[in-house]
Structure 1
Amino acid sequence: MNAIAPRILVIDDEPQIRRFLDIGLRAEGYRVLLAASAEEGLNLAATQEPDVVVLDLGLPDREGHEVLAELRQWSSTPVLMLSVRDAEAEKVRALDLGAHDYVTKPFGIQELMARLRVLLRNRVEGDGENAPLYDDGCLCIDMLRREVHLDGQPVELTRKEYAVLLMLLAHAGRVVAQQLLLRKIWGATHVHDTHYLRVVIGRLRQKLGDDPSSPRWLKTEPGVGYRFIMAEPATD
């Protein structure tokens, strides 16, 4: 396991299943987040950035399919569904809604671990597929390696900082609304938490040496959102 172990979010209302998975996952070196309801699970998914979500189909407050559909509105995190329902139609529905895999209860911990390893491996390999490179001679954002350099020096960004920067870059030249950034990166329950975004933008500017009064890359559109300015490539 790497120094920073993958974080697994388990959303299941059965205490014995949560305890079983918590023990088993931690024994394999994973970091574990536990939620007993849909609401708690969606909040953790939005704020804690899990690498994989293990989602039970039957939850007390919302159907697992609904949770999956909402999660897919703002997150591409791999989801492994758990259910006592083994009907083919149930599995097909979950996969059509965006689940990556489906395990029927009861299940063996080794089978689950094998499926998690596949999801994590595919996620790492998929991150670099057709990944572009932004380089204006000063700021370099390598999406293949998930690295940012400023004047040739590495810039250490948190996952949220990198996600905001990447989303703004993906819409370079256009205004990205605050609510869209918040929904995509923090989750649908945080669309009004604009202070989260202000803090991250402030830290990004500080790390990139970008003056908000005369921005080179990150421009504020007051009351609306933010825009990534495509700088002209440096010339000799």
Structure 2
Amino acid sequence: MALKILVVDDEPLIIEVLKAYLERDGYQVFSAITGSEALSKIETIKPDFLVLDLMLPDISGEKLCKQVRQTSDIPIIMLTAKTAEEDRIQGIVIGADDYISKPFSPREVVVRIQAILRRTQRLTEKDRLSFNNGALIIDLPRYQAFMEKEELELTPIEFKLLAGMAKYPGRVYTRSDLLEKVQQDTYEGYERSIDVHIKNLRKKVEKNSKKPEYIITVFGIGYKFGGKPDVTHSSQ
């Protein structure tokens, strides 16, 4: 699945050039020309990387960066015509991962993005669980799960059930155990109601819900996760 990059700049030519270079390297590129549009797209598309111009028509790039940092650790490269050292330092202080002055080489931007992604992906690798040769991927920080590169439309309860069991493949969970995993969502229910959520989860995860590979029933006890881990991972 292609990584999603959001380019925020009020100069259409800059967006066009960066889009061409980034898409050539296999990234999925989105754009915004205002800070408010950027905030909306960050919420809806959940990008993996943010390229942010500091001189926006409505919200300053500095203010936007601070807002993003309140809820997200998404990597950010700032683009700006400001060249003073203290401006560059300020950009890093408020949460940017890198700072590039205009005019710039589009290829340099791509290379810096790749370098930051390599570093951040190594740091967050333990938060991505992969099973059955990459068939099922669970991204814990982003509350997303993918089957054969297609995102699964899971409810919060379904995601917590899937992720909770996947952290310990083969471990058997009683219905009471699983109920505890979803109660922090202010969910109130009976142990047997877990069966309903498991049934719905199987419809979304399994190729054949009658012969499940991932969500296995342990008769008389509860359920366990049957996926085969691609790499050794630790729970959080």
Instruction: Give the TM interval when normalised to the shorter protein.
Output: 0.5 to 0.7
Q: Which residue of 2 aligns with 1:218?
A: 182
For 1:55 and 1:85, how far apart are their aligned partners in 2?
13
Would the aligned equivalents of 1:205 and 1:211 in 2 still touch at CA under 8 Å?
no
Residue 163 (structure 1) aligned with residue 163 (structure 2)? no
Alignment RMSD: 3.2
Q: Which residue of 1 aligns with 2:30?
A: 33
TM-score, length-normalised on structure 1? 0.62
- 1:222, CA displacement in angstroms? 5.8
- 1:23, CA displacement in angstroms? 1.3
For 1:118 and 1:205, how far apart are their aligned partners in 2?
32
Q: Which residue of 1 aligns with 2:112?
A: 115
Letter in 2 for 1:8: I
For 1:205 and 1:67, how far apart are their aligned partners in 2?
31
Would the aligned equivalents of 2:157 and 2:182 in 1 still touch at CA under 8 Å?
no
Corresponding residue SS for 1:62: coil
1:103-140 CA distances to partner (integer Å, 9 max, x unpaired)? Answer: 11111112111111111101111114xx5xxxxxxxxx
For 1:162 and 1:57, how far apart are their aligned partners in 2?
27
Letter in 1 for 2:179: P
Aligned to 1:204, which of 134, 138, 159? 159
Would the aligned equivalents of 2:129 and 2:137 in 1 still touch at CA under 8 Å?
no
- 1:163, CA displacement in angstroms? 3.4
Would the aligned equivalents of 2:161 and 2:182 in 1 still touch at CA under 8 Å?
no
TM-score, length-normalised on structure 2? 0.62
Letter in 2 for 1:55: L
For 2:175 and 2:57, how far apart are their aligned partners in 1?
49
1:159-192 CA distances to partner (integer Å, 9 max, x unpaired)? Answer: 4x76349xxxxxxxxxxxxxxxxxxxxxxxxxxx
Would the aligned equivalents of 2:5 and 2:48 in 1 still touch at CA under 8 Å?
yes
- 1:51, CA displacement in angstroms? 1.5
For 2:136 and 2:141, how far apart are their aligned partners in 1?
9
- 1:60, CA displacement in angstroms? 0.4
Structure 2: 5+ residue stretches without partners: 145-153, 166-172, 189-223, 225-236
Corresponding residue SS for 1:39: helix
Residues 221, 31 of structure 1: CA spacing in aligned structure 2 closer, same or farther, 3 A cutoff?
Answer: same
Percent of residue pairs identical: 29
Corresponding residue SS for 2:103: coil
For 2:83 and 2:174, how far apart are their aligned partners in 1?
54
- 1:22, CA displacement in angstroms? 1.2
Q: Which residue of 2 aligns with 1:24?
A: 21
Letter in 2 for 1:146: L
